[in-house]
Amino acid sequence: MTTALIADDEPHLLRHLQTLLAQAWPELQVLEPARNGLEAAEAIGAHNPDIAFLDIQMPGLTGLEVAQGIEGDTRVVFVTAYDEYALQAFEAAAVDYLLKPLKLERLQRTVERLRSGSLEDALPRAVQQLAPPRPAQPLRWVRASQGEITHQIDVQDVIYFHADEKYTVVRTREAEHLIRTPIQELVAQLDPDQFWQVHRSTVINLAMLAGTRRDEASRLFVRFKGLSTELPVSRAYVPRFKAM
**Residue 244, pLDDT score:** 64
Segment 26-37 shows an average pLDDT of 95
Segment 2-6 shows an average pLDDT of 96
**Residue 30, pLDDT score:** 96
φ, ψ (nearest 5 deg) of residue 187: -55, -40
- The full set of domain ranges for the chain reads 3-120, 141-241
**Residue 49, pLDDT score:** 95
Contacts with 41 (C-beta within 8 Å, 6 or more apart), sequence order: 61, 66, 69
The CATH code for residues 3-120 is 3.40.50.2300
pLDDT digit string, tens, across residues 210-228? 999 988 777 889 999 999 9
**Residue 18, pLDDT score:** 96
Of all residues in the chain, the percent with pLDDT exceeding 90 is 53
State the Rg of the chain over Cα. 21
Beta strand 160-164 pairing with 149-154: unpaired
Instruction: Give the pLDDT band (50/70/90) at residue 120.
Output: very low
**Residue closest to 94 by CA, chosen among 134, 67, 59:** 67
Which residues of the chain form beta strands (DSSP E)? 3-7, 29-30, 51-54, 75-80, 96-99, 141-146, 149-154, 160-164, 167-171, 176-179, 195-199, 202-205, 209-214, 220-224, 227-232
Least confident residue range of 1-5, 17-21, 239-243: 239-243
Q: Rounded to whole angstroms, how far apart are CA atoms 138 and 85?
A: 31
Indicate the pTM of the whole model.
0.55
pLDDT tops 80 at residue 190:
yes
pLDDT digit string, tens, across residues 83-92? 777 667 766 6
Segment 57-81 shows an average pLDDT of 87
CATH superfamily of domain region 141-241 = LytTr DNA-binding domain (2.40.50.1020)
**Residue 130, pLDDT score:** 47
CB–CB of 202/224 below 8 Å? no
Average pLDDT score, the chain: 86
**Residue 199, pLDDT score:** 87
**Residue 133, pLDDT score:** 63
